[in-house]
Amino acid sequence: MDSTSSACLLVASIFAPIHGGSANVYASLCRLSPPGTIAVLAAGRYYDRHEEIAGWQAHDRQCGYPVHRLDLLRPPMLPAPRNKLVSAWRFLTIDIPLRLRVLRTALQLIRQYNVRVICLGELISSAWLGEACRKLTGCRVVYYIHGEEVTTQFDAGSFGNRRLQNLRRADAIIAVSRFTQRTLIDDLGLPAERVHLIENAVDTSRFSPGSDDTEFRKRWGLLGKRLVVGVGRLVPRKGFDRTISGWRDVVAKHPDAHLVIVGDGPQRQELAQAVEAAGLSANVTLTGPLSDADLVAAYRSADLFTMPNRTMPDGDTEGFGLVFLEANACGRAVVGGRAGGAVEAVRDGETGLLVDGDDVEAISAAIIRLLSDDDLRRRLEQGGLAHAQANNWVSRAAEFQSLCRGLTANRESVRR
């Protein structure tokens, strides 16, 4: 990237090599955008776990686009303050110094790469940065909205209540699904012309059909098992707790069935305890995060994929569910929840089965059905593969770049 080009600065705390929907979205956009059109400001540590993101140095050397890291882009997650004095002290000693570092770095990158558009991957924690950069440099501000950040309800007085105000000031808002687009326009009343649909897609060069991986199976003690794989952040809305609750029924019908849950998150200990309490330690494996190669190996070694997502009481829901397309791209049928944007990611009866993510019996019944009916499973595998191949990131990256160029052109025409 040279100083004569016009670029977009993408700001995201959740970025590769972290696995997960939003991280995959941003990395795919960057990897498939033309050279010189995008730079990244990302974090080197998890804000909620106070740990370094494993492998970020190697990723940044090899990814092919410029990535700049600070330890954190948002304040670390800490225990609730005991009183307002503690809260004020944290703001003065943690939040303000961190914001100054982030702003100083962002302004340096805006000058270095001739940035005209700043795209923010976290609405709630990064809106202040967009507003500051707009005032100081005149750049356009874009929010990338996945779903849960606008559907989740926050307690009165929470910083989350400023979401609507920030969204109204945006030059453009990207919605990853029609569900998210409808939420932004119909529920929040945002102007339709500023909400742009760029549906999530899959990197078909990375996720593709392949042979069952014997080495992966050996490493996890899974030889001779029929694997049902789930991938995602370990939070309640993903439905892994409900899957575990019904796993005894699956094993009763298919004694060789083994549930493999890939990912990490705040619910991990709870899920591990549920597995042990149910006496399912020999039938369920929680792998934690996996390398890129092992993630693909998990998909390819599976008989099918499951993530029976649900909408939580506070409105937290799945904005799309990119993992469904990843599994489809590896030639696997999927079981998803009939909630949020997953109803767009999974075509019921064509690429997988949709169930009520709160209904344990429905979840286990769908898994049993696919394990029992080879013809149905193969038909869904074929439909899923075709669906994934028709929705790859090449076209989505082009849509993103077209939006950025349009915003820049509009600004230049206003100047003239």
CATH number, residue 280: 3.40.50.2000
Q: In angstroms, how far is CA 178 from the centroid of its own chain?
A: 16
Predicted local confidence at residue 5, as pLDDT: 57
Are 234 and 272 contacting, i.e. CB atoms less than 8 angstroms apart? no
Are 260 and 287 contacting, i.e. CB atoms less than 8 angstroms apart? yes
Position 208 in a domain: no
Same-domain pairing of 231 and 196: no
Instruction: From first to last of the 416 residues of the chain, give the pLDDT tens digit.
Output: 444 456 899 999 999 998 777 888 999 999 999 999 999 999 999 988 788 998 999 999 999 999 999 999 999 988 888 888 988 998 899 999 999 999 999 999 999 999 999 999 999 899 999 999 999 999 999 999 998 888 877 554 444 568 889 999 999 999 999 999 999 999 999 999 999 999 999 989 889 999 999 999 999 999 999 999 999 999 999 999 999 999 999 999 999 999 999 999 899 999 999 999 999 999 999 999 898 899 999 999 999 999 999 999 988 999 888 999 999 999 999 999 999 999 999 999 999 999 999 999 999 999 999 999 999 999 999 999 999 999 888 889 999 999 999 998 765 544 44
d(CA 130, CA 127): 5
Position 43 in a domain: yes
Which residue from 290, 174, 320, 307 is spatially nearest to 242, judged by alpha carbons?
307
Other beta carbons within 10 angstroms of residue 193's beta carbon come to 8
Same-domain pairing of 127 and 188: yes
Domain with 244, as residue range(s), is 214-389
Position 2 in a domain: no
Predicted local confidence at residue 409, as pLDDT: 79
Predicted local confidence at residue 154, as pLDDT: 59
Phi-psi region of 287 (alpha: psi -120 to 50; beta: other; left: phi over 0): alpha
Are 201 and 22 contacting, i.e. CB atoms less than 8 angstroms apart? no
Are 269 and 241 contacting, i.e. CB atoms less than 8 angstroms apart? no
Same-domain pairing of 77 and 135: yes
Q: What are the structure tokens assigned to 54, written together?
A: 């494993």
Number of domains into which the chain is organized = 2
DSSP strand pairing (140-145 vs 195-197): unpaired
**Which residue shows structure tokens 């699956």?**
250
Predicted local confidence at residue 2, as pLDDT: 44
- Coil, strand or helix: which one is 255? coil
Same-domain pairing of 281 and 354: yes
d(CA 39, CA 116): 11
Q: In angstroms, how far is CA 304 from the centroid of its own chain?
A: 21
Same-domain pairing of 153 and 300: no
Predicted local confidence at residue 411, as pLDDT: 58
